[in-house]
Structure 1
Amino acid sequence: MDAPDRDQLPFGVVGLDASGIVVVYNATEAHMAGLDRDAVIGVSFFDAVAQCMNNFMVAQRFEDEALLDEIVPYVLTLRMRPTRVRLRLLAAPTEPLNYILIER
């Protein structure tokens, strides 16, 4: 999917390379998180952007599981009041990026 189509999705899309660096950050997520896309691209997602996901439920799953397609109920707590979301964690050894889809 190209960037303009991703930006039209009603949920957040974050694409990470193997080291957790943000490569894809759609407009919906930028708006909902209140973060400028240009400030997020190229930054370590779990260390600098979404430290509240740097735990066994999210970040560790990408390290431990080469193949991942899981929906996780979650509560975001960083930079905002606690917000219930559903995360879809996607990873495959044949794909260059891992994805976190965020439905608020």
Structure 2
Amino acid sequence: MNLTFEEASIQSLLDAPDQLDTLSFGVIGFNDASDVVIYNTFEASSAALRQARVLGKNLFSEIAPCLNNAMVAQRFESEPELDVIISYVLALRMRPIPVRLRLLKKIDNDIRFLLVAWA
């Protein structure tokens, strides 16, 4: 899969889940309960969190509480569809890390995506 951070779409991510580990940006897929169901190798390496530690856990309360705010988590709850890129600063192990986040949500898909472009 030759998707870039800017051109990735939910449909292409869902159509080729076995190709997600070839991407050069992080992919986190989660259900409507915010439980992580997809976590690619790039994100696991960049965040230094193994897939086994993340899959099945709540993204916003257990894995990345720094995303549990109006800019990220609440947008997934309040907006019926999303496809927006925002600049963000992760608070990862007490170090601020600038990233770009892409929030993807479609009304007819059960999986929502957070794409992470690490600086």
Whether the TM-score (by the shorter chain) exceeds 0.5 is yes
Counterpart CA distance in 2 for 1:80 and 1:29 is 18
Q: Please, which runs of 5 or more residues in structure 2 have no aligned partner?
A: 1-15
Q: How many residues align?
A: 103
RMSD, aligned α-carbons: 0.8
What is the aligned partner in structure 2 of residue 101 from structure 1? 115
What is the aligned partner in structure 2 of residue 77 from structure 1? 91
Q: TM-score, normalised by structure 2?
A: 0.84
CA shift, 1:8, in A, is 1.1
Counterpart CA distance in 2 for 1:39 and 1:80 is 19
1:52 maps onto 2:73 in alignment: no
Counterpart CA distance in 2 for 1:55 and 1:29 is 21
CA shift, 1:2, in A, is 2.1
What is the aligned partner in structure 1 of residue 76 from structure 2? 62
Q: TM-score, normalised by structure 1?
A: 0.96
Q: Please, which runs of 5 or more residues in structure 1 have no aligned partner?
A: none
Counterpart CA distance in 2 for 1:20 and 1:26 is 16
CA shift, 1:80, in A, is 5.0
CA shift, 1:30, in A, is 0.3
Moved over 4 A (4+): none
1:39 maps onto 2:60 in alignment: no
Assess, with a 3 A threshold, how the Cα gap between structure 1 residues 80 and 12 changes in structure 2: closer, same or farther: farther
CA shift, 1:96, in A, is 1.3
